[in-house]
Each structure stands twice: as C-alpha cells, then as structure tokens.
Structure 1
Amino acid sequence: MRTFFSLAVALAVVGGACTAVAAAEPAPPSITPLTGIEPCPAGTLEDAPVLLIPGTNATVEKSLGPVRQALLDDGRCVYGLEYDSMQPISLSVDYFTAAVERIREINGTTALDVVGKSQGALIARAVSVEFTDPHPLRQVVAISGPQRGGTKSIGGVDITPLGAQTPALNLLDRAAVRDMLVGSPYLTELNSGPMTAPAVRYTMLASTYDQIVSPPSASFVDAPNVTNILIQDGCPEDWAGHLAESTDPRTVDLVLNALDPLRHPAVRCLPNTDER
C-alpha cells in the first residue's frame, strides 16, 4: 500500500514539490507580474541570463532550488518566475514568451538560457519554437519534461479511480495536466511541426526511475541540436526519480555542465533514491 500511496502523492507533485493531500484545493498560485521583472544586478551580464521554469504545483525553489543557487554562486543573473501551472499550457507558454522578451529588452541582451523542470521543461521547449531568427534563446535544459506526453498511470497504477475518490488528487480535471497527456490536442499540435528551433542547443535529461514521466524516452527529442541524457548512464547507483531530481547532485551537475562545460566539467555520481 505504501507504493500506491506514494505514487498517488507523486501525481500531486509533478513538478517535484510535495503538497498537502488534505487540502481540498491547491493554494492559489503567486504569479510573478512581468512588470515586476527588473534588470540583472550589476556585474552579472557577462554570461547570458538564465530563466528558470518550475513544474506543476511547485515553486522555483522546490523544483530548481539547488540549480538556482549554483548559478547564483557562479555570478549568473537568474530569473525564477512563478506561474499558474494548472492553466492551459498554451497560456503559460504565452506568459514565458513575454517574459523572455521583457528580460531581453530591459537588459539589452541578445541571448538567454532557459532551464525547466517537468511541466516547466515542456514549456521551455514550447517557448523556444515561438521565436524566429534572431533567436533570443541560446540553450534550453529540460529536466524530465513530458515532451511526448504522459499517461493516466503512474508506476503501472491507473490513477483515474484514485482521483475520483480523492478530489485533491484529481488533477486530470486541470487543463495543464490534460495538455500533458499522450495524444492531447495541445501536444499533437506542438509536435506536428519542428520540435526544436535550429539556432538553440537543447539538453534533455531523464531518469530510468521516473514514475511520473515514463518511459524516459518521453522526455527525449530526436534532433541534431539535442543531447539526450539518461542520468543513470555511467552512474547506475543514482536511483533518483521525478521528485528527487530537483535536488539530485548528478542532475544539478548535468544542468550546470550543459550551460557552462568549461566552468563545470565534472559531473558527480552519488548513490541516490527517490526519497530525498
């Protein structure tokens, strides 16, 4: 029963943050107003600014906190924006597309890097194909994004009846979750054209032990400008799944290596589980 309960809770935390199951409804999101985006602090414009996009029901800190801190330690300019992760994904894509434009405008920069986790990883790729040359994005790093969609089962368990019994977990009623299902109208339209922008470099990360976006190939995209990485390649003792990837040292290192391999050539291999 523990496994079934853990998987049920995992559905409510697609972005990597555990929410209280007892709540009848998730708390209203705190959306970052685009007018509140300020220029990068002095001394951080040498490298491209980095925009972080969290996952479903998760803040930037819960989805990408260690990544953000490591980038700040590097002296990078980092933007972490909160959004309504239950609204249709097309609306979130519009929001982050406008955010990219504002960040570029107020900083006078020509390039940004974007890192997304889970739903945020799908949004990051969708935003990248919204632009034409000159393209404002340099790199997209996507952590366990449902690029090809997810299913209504987690770890082989059909969660539809569970949602009917437990309204707090019935995320299938939410537009963003429906948009992320295999064969959804949104994904069908998004993936009917080019799945990447030619001028952008992509790194897609996935885990064998991800029970939410599964199989790992659902997070991968086949294109010349895409590097697909399974975090267990070369490190089988790292069992981090969807939740633990938010803090998994190897996953964090792979993100940093993708963004700046000269500064971060080493990628740690540490034993891990999805309990972190």
Structure 2
Amino acid sequence: MPNRLRRAAAVLIAAVLLTASATAATTANAAPSSGVDNWSCKPSAAHPNPLVLLHGLGGNGPGNYSFLGPFLAAKGYCAFTLTYGQATPAIPVGGTVSIAQSSAEIQAFVQQVRQATGAAKVDIVGHSEGGFQSIYGPKVRGYAGQVGKVVALAPPTHGTTFGGLVSVGDYLGLRPLVDQVLQQFGCPACDELIVGGTAVAKLTAGPIAQPGVKYTVIASRFDALVTPHETSFIREPGVTNKFVQDTCPLDPVGHVGLAFDPTVAQLVANALDPAHASRVVCAFGPPL
C-alpha cells in the first residue's frame, strides 16, 4: 500500500475509533460502582475467570467499555480495563504505539488482574485492535495457559484493507482532529495491522488458535473499517466465527458500534458462559 494511502488509513481508523472514547473524560476517574475496575472484586464459582477488556485503536478502556463493561459486570463478572499503547499520558488515546509494546503492557495487566483476584486464568474480550491483541498475546507472548476464553469483536486478524473509510471518517467529522494527533505522535500500529503488516504476519505464521483456549470471533457484515469482513475470522478447530447478522439479520451495527450494541453484548455474554446462554433479543446497534 502506498504511503499516502497508509497515512489516510491510519487517520481514518483512529478517527472512527475515537468515538468509542468519547465518554472517557467523564468516566476515567469515576469510582467503580458497577463492578468494572473494582480491584477488591473476587471471582465467583459461576464466573471464576475475571475479564480483561481491551479497547480498539485510538480508544481507551473506560470509553470503549462504558456500555459493555457494566453489562458484563452486572452478570457477576469481575471486569477490568486498561488503556494500553498511549503515545503520551496527556492524551487518553491508546493503541497507537507498536503492537509489540502494547502487547507487553497487556501481558503485564493480565498478571496484575490474576494476582489481585487470585484467579488462575482470565477471559479476554477485545474490540478491533483489542480483538487482535486478545489473539496475538496468548500466541506470540506465550501466555495462553493463563487464558480460558477469548471473545474478539471485529479483530483485523488477517489484516485489513480499510475499505470504505473515507466516507465513514468524513461523516464523523473527526478527520482534522485525528490528523493533528497522528502528525504529532504517529501511529506504528496502523501500518502493522494492514494486510501484510508485520504484526499480522507474526500472528498468522502457523496456527493462530492456541490449545486450551476457546475462541469466539464476532464480526458485522456492515463493518466499514475491518474489510473484507471475513478477515476477522480464524478458520481453525476450537474457534467459533459468527456475524451479528447470523442472529439478527436487520441489525445495522458497524465497527465502532459493536461495543455499544445490546445484541452484541448478549452474544458476548453467551460466548463467555455458553452453559447458561440467554436468548438474544435483537436490537439496532450504532451503524458506525
């Protein structure tokens, strides 16, 4: 991909995913009342694995999981977020540094959660780049033995061509702001997540799914960022791949909206606890 197109892709993917952190300014310092980021939480017998929630590129933990985090905590999970891969602490935007640097931060956070809760394993829920990291870390960094389940929402597993980004970015009106951020700090992760990117090559060299980990990958047919849509899927034993529209054909949810869609939230909860799965009531997720 020419540098000009890579640059445009980097700007626009961050533009879209910044919407996921829009509420972070009001939630980042809030007391944990919902069970999210409550470091005194101890896992129950029903949900022995605490959850590690990984945000997307250009987002942050509190913003990206302002809906899905409390939803899962209300079901009895100990759920924890972090903002990984920040280029500077002054700006609450994560995931822009190299995939390797972010994955090291995430691995350390997994250990922190395990130590605080006394759990042998965690389950990981990741969105977009966070979905990629939820798959990348257990394989490349070698901590699959500490992970029970992975639920990845639209991860660019095999890289993305960033199809349709211009209209999405322009519609959101965020392109100038993100361009300013990226001009100052750059975005190594952006180049690493395209088709043929270095992180993608490392993840897809040999089997992706790790023994002992149960994977669920959820994508939307209306995703305008991670394209082609099936690039998210892992066609290997032990992996469940599904489109939101397989369950709810009329749900128009887009890439960012996956983290804010009640339909997707129930699909995630069912993937984490299939023995007690609930009927999915179809909703209409944000189409962005």
- What range is the shorter-chain TM-score in? 0.7 to 0.9
Counterparts in 2 of 1:40 and 1:220: CA distance versus 1, 3 Å: farther
Inter-partner Cα distance in structure 2 for 1:231 and 1:16: 21
CA deviation vs aligned residue, 1:51-71 (integer Å, no higher than 9, x gap): 000111212233222221122
Mapped pair 1:221 → 2:234: yes
Q: CA deviation at 1:167?
A: 3.1
Partner of 1:188: 201
Counterparts in 2 of 1:43 and 1:191: CA distance versus 1, 3 Å: closer
What's the secondary structure of 2:16's corresponding residue? coil
Inter-partner Cα distance in structure 2 for 1:255 and 1:90: 26
Query: Which of residues 220, 223, 238 in structure 2 aligns to 1:210?
Result: 223
Mapped pair 1:107 → 2:117: yes
State the identity %. 27
Q: CA deviation at 1:132?
A: 5.7
Counterparts in 2 of 1:200 and 1:251: CA distance versus 1, 3 Å: same
Mapped pair 1:201 → 2:204: no
CA deviation vs aligned residue, 1:150-203 (integer Å, no higher than 9, x gap): 1254358799xxx89x83386894101111111012211221132111110000
* TM-score after normalising by structure 2: 0.76
Q: Which ranges in structure 2 are unaligned for 5 or more consecutive residues?
A: 1-10, 29-36, 86-94, 170-174
Inter-partner Cα distance in structure 1 for 2:287 and 2:68: 18
Q: Which ranges in structure 1 are unaligned for 5 or more consecutive residues?
A: 1-7, 20-26, 31-36
CA contact (8 A) 1:15 1:54 kept: no
CA deviation vs aligned residue, 1:4-43 (integer Å, no higher than 9, x gap): xxxx866513365276xxxxxxx9xx9xxxxxx8854246
Partner of 1:17: 20
If each structure's helix is expressed as a fraction of its own residues, which one has the higher value? 2
Inter-partner Cα distance in structure 2 for 1:108 and 1:114: 16
CA deviation vs aligned residue, 1:118-174 (integer Å, no higher than 9, x gap): 0000001011213367x1100000001101111254358799xxx89x833868941
What's the secondary structure of 1:14's corresponding residue? helix
Counterparts in 2 of 1:43 and 1:105: CA distance versus 1, 3 Å: closer
What's the Cα RMSD here? 3.1
Partner of 1:73: 74
What's the secondary structure of 1:125's corresponding residue? helix
Counterparts in 2 of 1:80 and 1:104: CA distance versus 1, 3 Å: same
Partner of 1:243: 256
Partner of 2:98: 88
Counterparts in 2 of 1:273 and 1:96: CA distance versus 1, 3 Å: closer
What's the secondary structure of 2:150's corresponding residue? strand
Counterparts in 2 of 1:96 and 1:43: CA distance versus 1, 3 Å: closer
Inter-partner Cα distance in structure 1 for 2:52 and 2:186: 29
Inter-partner Cα distance in structure 2 for 1:15 and 1:228: 26
Partner of 2:128: 118
Report how many aligned residue pairs link the two structures.
Answer: 250
Counterparts in 2 of 1:45 and 1:81: CA distance versus 1, 3 Å: farther
Partner of 2:149: 139
CA contact (8 A) 1:241 1:273 kept: yes
Q: CA deviation at 1:248?
A: 1.0
Partner of 1:23: none
CA contact (8 A) 1:54 1:64 kept: yes
CA deviation vs aligned residue, 1:183-228 (integer Å, no higher than 9, x gap): 0122112211321111100000000100000121111111111000
Partner of 1:33: none
Inter-partner Cα distance in structure 1 for 2:38 and 2:260: 27
Mapped pair 1:148 → 2:158: yes
Inter-partner Cα distance in structure 2 for 1:41 and 1:61: 18
